[in-house]
Amino acid sequence: AEQLNREAATYGPDARLEELQSKAREDLSEARSLFAARRYPEARVKAITSRNASQQVIDSARSADTTRSEVRFYRAGDPTRV
């Protein structure tokens, strides 16, 4: 989650991505706090949520100039989402 968050931050200011970048940062911060409090299951969910948001930022920024025909699966707990 941290690595993707750092990579997502390298994609300059873009109004459409700022909200998602902010969510990724907030979720990562909350995951760290939960981990420090030994609330591991909750920390894991927040870390996954942060990772997914960062990946969406990266995907959106990279595909701004291209057409994308790939499918990504995001996992945030038990159900899997496409």
**Residue-level pLDDT at 28:** 94
In contact, 24 and 33? CB cutoff 8 Å: no
Please name the residue that has the structure tokens 């496409």: 82
Decide: pTM greater than 0.75: no
Q: Round to whole Å and give the CA distance between 82 and 65.
A: 22
φ, ψ for residue 80, nearest 5 deg:
-100, 135
What are the structure tokens assigned to 10, written together?
């390298």
What is the tens place of the pLDDT at every residue in 12-45? 667 778 888 889 999 999 999 999 999 999 999 9
What is the tens place of the pLDDT at every residue in 70-81? 666 666 666 655
Helix (H) or strand (E) holding 10: none
Q: Is the pLDDT of residue 58 over 60?
A: yes
